[in-house]
Amino acid sequence: MSKVKNPDAELALHRTMVLIRRVEESLIKLFSDGEVPGFIHLSLGQEGVAAGVMSALRSGDTMATTHRGHGHVLARGLDLDLFFKEIMGRAGGICGGRGGSMHVADMRLGIIGANGIVGAGIPIALGSALGHSVQKRGNAAVVFFGDGAMAEGVLHETLNMASLWKLPLLLVCENNGWSEFSPTSQQFAAKLKDLAAAFGLAYDHVDGADVSAVARASQKAIQYIREGQGAYVLECSTHRVRGHYEGDPQKYRDPAELEAGAKLDPLVRSRTALQVAGVALEAIESIEHEVQLAVEAAIERARADRLPTFEEAFGDVYTASVEVAPERAAA
Inform me whether the pLDDT recorded for 268 exceeds 80.
Answer: yes
- Ranking 61-65, 115-119, 168-172 by mean pLDDT, the lowest is 115-119
Per-residue confidence (pLDDT) for residue 329, from 0 to 100: 47
End-to-end CA distance of the chain: 71
Residue 321's pLDDT is 64
Answer with the residue of higher pLDDT: 178 or 47.
Answer: 47
Torsion of CA 217, 191, 175, 125, to 10 degrees: 70
- According to DSSP, residue 263 is labeled G
Prediction pTM value? 0.89
CATH of domain 7-330: 3.40.50.970
pLDDT, mean of residues 285-312: 95
Q: Cα–Cα distance between 213 and 52 in angstroms, integer?
A: 8
Residues in the chain: 331
pLDDT tens-place string over residues 18-45: 999 999 999 999 989 999 988 888 888 8
224 pLDDT band (50/70/90 cuts)?
Answer: very high
Per-residue confidence (pLDDT) for residue 94, from 0 to 100: 94
Residue 299 has pLDDT above 70, yes or no: yes
CB burial readout 109-126, b (16+ within 10 A) else e: bbbbbbbeebbbbbbbbb
Q: 82-96, 154-168, 178-192, 233-247: which has the minimum mean pLDDT?
A: 178-192
Quote helix, strand, coil % in the chain, to nearest 5: 50, 10, 40
Closest to 50 in 3D by CA, of 67, 27, 79, 74 = 74
The residue-averaged pLDDT of 127-138 equals 96
Strands (E), the chain: 62-64, 111-113, 141-146, 169-175, 178-179, 182-183, 202-207, 232-237
Q: Alpha-carbon distance 6 to 3, whole Å?
A: 9
Report the relative pairing of strands 62-64 and 111-113 from DSSP bridges: parallel
Q: Is the pLDDT of residue 227 over 70?
A: yes
Residue 256 CA to residue 40 CA, distance in Å, equals 25
Contact 211, 13 (CB under 8 A): yes
Mean pLDDT across 215-219: 98
Query: Quick check: 218 pLDDT over 60?
Result: yes
pLDDT score, position 116: 83
**CB of 86 closer than 8 Å to CB of 47:** no
> Which pLDDT score, from 0 to 100, does residue 87 have?
95
The one-letter amino acid at 298: A
Sequence ranges of the domains in the chain: 7-330
What is the mean pLDDT of the segment spanning 297-301? 98
Looking at the chain, the whole-number percentage of residues with pLDDT higher than 70 is: 89
Q: Please give the C-alpha separations between residue 16 and each of 101, 189, 246, 292, in angstroms, as whole numbers.
A: 19, 35, 22, 12
For the ranges 64-73, 207-216, 319-328, which has the lowest average pLDDT? Answer: 319-328
Residue 180: the pLDDT is: 62
Mean pLDDT computed over 279-297: 96
The whole-number pLDDT of residue 209 equals 93
Provide the mean pLDDT of the chain: 89
pLDDT value at 190 more than 80? no
* Dist CA 102 CA 115 (whole Å): 6
Is the pLDDT at 151 greater than 60, yes or no?
yes
Q: Reply yes or no on whether the pLDDT at 269 is more than 50.
A: yes
Q: Which residue has the higher pLDDT, 182 or 27?
A: 27
The strand pairing partners of 174, in sequence order, are 146, 236
Condensed to tens digits (0 to 9), the pLDDT of residues 1-13 reads: 666 677 889 999 9
